[in-house]
Structure 1
Amino acid sequence: MALVLHVWPGRWGLISIDPQCIAAALYLQLTVPGEFSIAECTNPDISPSGKLPFVTDGMHSVSPLASIIKFVSHRRLGESPPDGGTHHVNDLDVELTTHERAQKAAWCAHIESQVGDLLGHAMYSMEVNWRELVGPTLAGMLPVPQRYYVPARIRDIYKPRLEASELWDVPGEEVEEKPKFGEKKKEEAKEHKFKQVFQREKVVEKARACLDIYARLLGRKRFFFHDRPTTLDVVLASHILLLINPPYPDPLLKSLVTDSYPELASHARSVYSAAFPSSEAYPALASQAQNSFKALIPTFRFPSRASVHRPEVKTDDDKIDVWTWGWIAMAAIGAVGYWVLAGPRIQIVLVEEDETEGLAQEEGEEGGASVEEEEHLVASLDDDEDDE
Structure 2
Amino acid sequence: MLELHVWGPAFSLPSIDPQCLATIAYLVKAVPKEEWVLVASSDPSVSPTNELPALRNGDVWVSKFRNIVDYVRQYSDQAWDLDAEWTGLDNADITAFSAFVESNGQLLIDLSLYVSSQNYYASTSPAYGSILTWPNQWILPPKLRHAAKHRTEHLGLSSLDLEASEEQRERERSAAVSAGQIPQSLISRPRETVSSLLGKTARSSHFRLDALTAELFEPLEQLLGKKAYFLADGRRPSSLDALVLGYLSLALVPEVPAAWLRESLRTKTPRLASYVERLREECFGAAVQLEDAFSGNTTKKPLPLPWQKPERINAAKIGNTLLNTLADATPILKEFRMNSRLQQAAKSIDPRSSEYSESEARAISEYAIAQRRDLYISIASVAAGVAAMVGYLFYNGVITIAGEEEEYDEDEDVDVNIGGSSSAEDILGIPIS
Asked if these proteins are the same fold (TM beyond 0.5), I'd say yes
Query: Aligned pair in 2 of structure 1 residues 167, 108: CA closer, same or farther (>3 Å)?
Result: farther
Partner of 1:45: 45
**8 Å Cα contact 2:159/2:201 also seen in 1:** no
Shift of residue 48, structure 1, vs aligned partner: 2.8
CA distance in 2: counterparts of 1:187 and 1:144, whole angstroms: 33
Shift of residue 33, structure 1, vs aligned partner: 2.6
Superposition CA RMSD, Å: 3.4
Shift of residue 141, structure 1, vs aligned partner: 2.0
Partner of 2:307: 284
Give 2:68's aligned amino acid: I
Give 1:269's aligned amino acid: E
In the TM superposition, 1:1-388 aligns within 5 A as 2-34=1-33, 35-77=35-77, 89-170=79-160, 196-226=202-232, 227-278=235-286, 280-286=303-309, 288=311, 298=317
Partner of 2:412: none
Shift of residue 140, structure 1, vs aligned partner: 2.6
Spell out, residue by residue over 1:146-185, the C-alpha distance to the aligned partner (whole angstroms, 9 max, x if none): 222321111001111111233433368x9xxxxxxxxxxx
Spell out, residue by residue over 1:267-324, the C-alpha distance to the aligned partner (whole angstroms, 9 max, x if none): 1222222223446211131565xx9xx8997359xxxxxxxxxxxxxxxxxxxxxxxx
Larger-gyration structure (1/2): 1
CA distance in 1: counterparts of 2:314 and 2:195, whole angstroms: 58
Spell out, residue by residue over 1:102-123, the C-alpha distance to the aligned partner (whole angstroms, 9 max, x if none): 2211111111111211111100
**8 Å Cα contact 1:21/1:53 also seen in 2:** yes
Give 1:146's aligned amino acid: N
Spell out, residue by residue over 1:38-63, the C-alpha distance to the aligned partner (whole angstroms, 9 max, x if none): 11122212323221000111121111
CA distance in 1: counterparts of 2:155 and 2:93, whole angstroms: 24
Shift of residue 190, structure 1, vs aligned partner: 9.9
Query: Aligned pair in 2 of structure 1 residues 55, 195: CA closer, same or farther (>3 Å)?
Result: closer
Query: Aligned pair in 2 of structure 1 residues 188, 44: CA closer, same or farther (>3 Å)?
Result: closer
Identity, in percent, stands at 25
TM-score, normalised relative to structure 1: 0.65
CA distance in 2: counterparts of 1:207 and 1:217, whole angstroms: 16
Give 1:201's aligned amino acid: F
CA distance in 1: counterparts of 2:123 and 2:161, whole angstroms: 17
Partner of 2:339: none
Q: Secondary structure at the match of 2:159?
A: coil
Partner of 1:86: none
CA distance in 2: counterparts of 1:246 and 1:53, whole angstroms: 20
**8 Å Cα contact 2:157/2:205 also seen in 1:** no
Spell out, residue by residue over 1:170-227, the C-alpha distance to the aligned partner (whole angstroms, 9 max, x if none): 368x9xxxxxxxxxxx899999956741322211122112211111111111111113
Query: Aligned pair in 2 of structure 1 residues 282, 189: CA closer, same or farther (>3 Å)?
Result: closer
Q: Secondary structure at the match of 2:5?
A: strand
Query: Aligned pair in 2 of structure 1 residues 53, 160: CA closer, same or farther (>3 Å)?
Result: same
**8 Å Cα contact 2:159/2:205 also seen in 1:** no
Q: Which runs of 5+ in 2 are unaligned?
A: 166-191, 289-302, 320-432
Give 1:217's aligned amino acid: L
CA distance in 2: counterparts of 1:26 and 1:8, whole angstroms: 14
Give 1:5's aligned amino acid: L
Q: Secondary structure at the match of 1:9?
A: coil
**8 Å Cα contact 1:128/1:250 also seen in 2:** yes
Q: Secondary structure at the match of 2:93?
A: helix
**8 Å Cα contact 1:171/1:199 also seen in 2:** no
**8 Å Cα contact 2:30/2:82 also seen in 1:** yes
Q: Which runs of 5+ in 1 are unaligned?
A: 79-88, 175-185, 301-384
Give 1:166's aligned amino acid: G
CA distance in 1: counterparts of 2:136 and 2:199, whole angstroms: 38
**8 Å Cα contact 1:26/1:275 also seen in 2:** yes
Spell out, residue by residue over 1:1-24, the C-alpha distance to the aligned partner (whole angstroms, 9 max, x if none): x21000000122211010000111
Query: Aligned pair in 2 of structure 1 residues 69, 295: CA closer, same or farther (>3 Å)?
Result: farther
**8 Å Cα contact 2:115/2:161 also seen in 1:** no
Q: Secondary structure at the match of 2:307?
A: coil
TM-score, normalised relative to structure 2: 0.58
What count of residue pairs does the alignment treat as equivalent?
278
CA distance in 2: counterparts of 1:22 and 1:191, whole angstroms: 34
CA distance in 2: counterparts of 1:264 and 1:166, whole angstroms: 27
CA distance in 1: counterparts of 2:59 and 2:193, whole angstroms: 63
Give 2:86's aligned amino acid: L
